[in-house]
């Protein structure tokens, strides 16, 4: 006898997370390995955040603040918003799923970029809706003109990812504004800015400015990347009160733990320290890009904390890097076959990746004198 389950489950794609360090150590019998596969921060939470977490353990017998008022207030004040315009999620993934629950029904569609974050098709399938994937443009960006053309009377939600995962390509604010002007003003649009902190373009942040005046626009960010809080799962959405209220209607009570709220709140109070870490990652992004260019390895210019690499010699390269103790993400799992997504680690970890890649490709790794000098003001 088989269990009777919803037919929607058959349409939900399986998300396959990257290999863990323990997986690789066991598989290859290695003593050490470095993980550059999951777009995590290579740095642990700040010392002050760790202290808050340690102090909060004693209160875990109590439920957290279900409305996450202190954290929402801090985010609202930081961005000049009202408390009613901020929603906290168990990671940004939960907020994406909540958007699907709130807005999608069978017979409706979600328009999203592809390849992009693998959860987007899941958002539609979980609601019984159809996911319309629109290919990226030649530069690896969301093709907003093609996405606008894919919108019809069935469309109830559009997701834009910028910088896009897994390409790292950034869509300019002007392009996003042109897109918003070209589509129905009551069609909900969610801009996934999970990698916002690493953007160096002058127009970054303008999407949030637009969300203050466009009721159909919601901006999604996370504490997982720059703040190093992946393991605690804290994301937040900012937009119109109507958008926020829709997410709150389907959000489960107490969705963000007390430790997650306390850690995110404390981390926001140390912006200078977080910015130093972000600048270190940006500096490493520039250095690694220069090294790849020096080695003749193609890659997509990135505005995120990772780089999508396209080596000319592709056969078995992912497996050979794993055997060398360097864990990167196989592009085949991300809709980019033959490519590798490299998360940016510490300088030492990044050097190990470059050395392993050079060895696998049979090329000489660039010397320090051939690469940009690290900014001595960075940690």
Q: Which of 11-25, 114-128, 184-198, 202-216 has the lowest mean pLDDT?
A: 11-25
User: How confident is the model over 262-281, as pLDDT tens digits?
Assistant: 999 999 999 999 999 999 99
Q: Provide the whole-model pTM.
A: 0.93
| 45-49: long-range contacts, CB 8 A cutoff, minimum separation 24 | 45/227, 45/228, 45/229, 45/263, 45/267, 46/228, 46/266, 46/267, 46/270, 46/273, 46/274, 48/266, 48/269, 48/270, 49/227, 49/229, 49/263, 49/266, 49/267, 49/270
Span 39-68, pLDDT tens digits = 999 999 999 999 999 999 999 999 999 999
Comparing 313 with 177, which gets the higher pLDDT? Answer: 177
Between 13 and 50, residue with greater pLDDT = 50
C-beta separation of 279 from 374 below 8 A: no
Q: Given pLDDT bands bounded at 50, 70 and 90, which one contains residue 127?
A: very high
Cβ atoms of residues 77 and 86 within 8 Å: no
In degrees and rounded to multiples of 5, residue 205 shows phi and psi of: 90, -10
Q: Which of 23-27, 199-203, 310-314, 374-378 has the lowest mean pLDDT?
A: 374-378
pLDDT tens-digit map of 67-100: 999 999 999 999 999 999 999 999 999 999 999 9
Alpha carbon distance 167, 178 (integer Å): 22
Residue 312, Cβ density class (10 Å: 0-12 exposed, 13-18 middle, ≥19 buried) = exposed
Give kind and range of the element (H or E) at residue 208.
Answer: helix 206-211
Terminal Cα distance for the chain, rounded: 60
Provide the pLDDT for residue 367: 73
Of 119, 166, 121, give the one whose Cα is nearest residue 140.
Answer: 166
- Side-chain-side CA neighbours of 2 within 13 Å: the count stands at 3
**Length of the chain (residues):** 379
Residue 276, helix vs strand vs coil: helix
What does the alpha-carbon distance between residue 119 and residue 137 come to, in Å, rounded to a whole number? 20
Give helix 271-295 / helix 347-361 axis angle, nearest 10°: 20
Once rounded to an integer, what is the mean pLDDT over residues 284-303?
A: 96
pLDDT, tens only, 228-242: 999 999 999 999 999
Q: How confident is the model at residue 378 (pLDDT cuts 50, 70, 90)?
A: very low
pLDDT at residue 11 above 80?
A: no
Question: What is the average per-residue pLDDT within 126-149?
Answer: 97
Rounded CA-CA distance 107/191 in Å is: 23
Which domains, from first to last, does the chain contain? 8-37+272-370 (3.90.1150.10), 47-269 (3.40.640.10)
Predicted confidence at residue 373, as pLDDT, reads 64
């Amino acid at each position: 006898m088989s269990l009777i389950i919803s037919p929607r489950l058959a349409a939900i794609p399986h998300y396959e997370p990257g290999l863990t360090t323990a997986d690789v150590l066991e598989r290859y019998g290695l003593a050490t390995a470095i993980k550059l596969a999951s777009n995590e921060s290579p740095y642990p939470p700040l010392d002050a955040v760790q202290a808050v977490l340690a102090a909060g353990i004693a209160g875990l017998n109590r439920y957290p603040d279900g409305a996450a008022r202190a954290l929402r207030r801090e985010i609202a004040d930081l961005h000049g918003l009202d408390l009613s315009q901020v929603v906290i999620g168990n990671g940004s993934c939960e907020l994406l799923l909540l958007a699907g629950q709130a807005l999608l029904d069978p017979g409706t569609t979600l328009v999203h970029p592809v390849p992009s974050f693998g959860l987007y098709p899941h958002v539609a399938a979980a609601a019984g809706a159809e996911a319309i994937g629109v290919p990226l443009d030649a530069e690896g960006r969301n093709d907003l003109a093609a996405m606008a053309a894919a919108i019809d009377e069935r469309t109830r939600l559009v997701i834009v990812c910028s910088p896009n995962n897994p390409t790292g390509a950034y869509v300019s604010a002007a392009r996003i504004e042109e897109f918003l002007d070209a589509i129905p003003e009551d069609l909900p649009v969610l801009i996934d800015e999970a990698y916002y902190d690493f953007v160096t373009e002058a127009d970054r942040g303008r999407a949030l400015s637009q969300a203050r005046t466009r009721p159909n626009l919601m901006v999604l960010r996370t504490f997982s990347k720059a703040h190093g809080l992946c393991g605690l799962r804290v994301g937040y959405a900012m937009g119109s009160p109507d958008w926020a209220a829709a997410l709150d209607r389907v959000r489960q009570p107490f969705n963000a733990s007390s430790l997650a709220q306390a850690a995110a709140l404390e981390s926001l109070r140390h912006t200078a320290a977080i910015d130093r870490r972000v600048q270190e990652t940006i500096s490493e992004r520039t250095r690694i890009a220069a090294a790849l260019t020096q080695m003749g390895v193609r890659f997509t210019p990135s505005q995120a904390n990772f780089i999508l690499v396209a080596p000319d010699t592709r056969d078995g390269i992912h497996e050979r890097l794993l055997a060398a103790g360097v864990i990167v993400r196989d592009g085949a799992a991300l809709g980019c076959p033959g490519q590798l997504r490299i998360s940016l680690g510490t300088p030492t970890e990044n050097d190990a990746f470059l050395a392993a890649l050079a060895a696998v490709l049979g090329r000489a790794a660039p010397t320090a004198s051939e690469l940009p000098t690290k900014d001595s003001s960075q940690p």
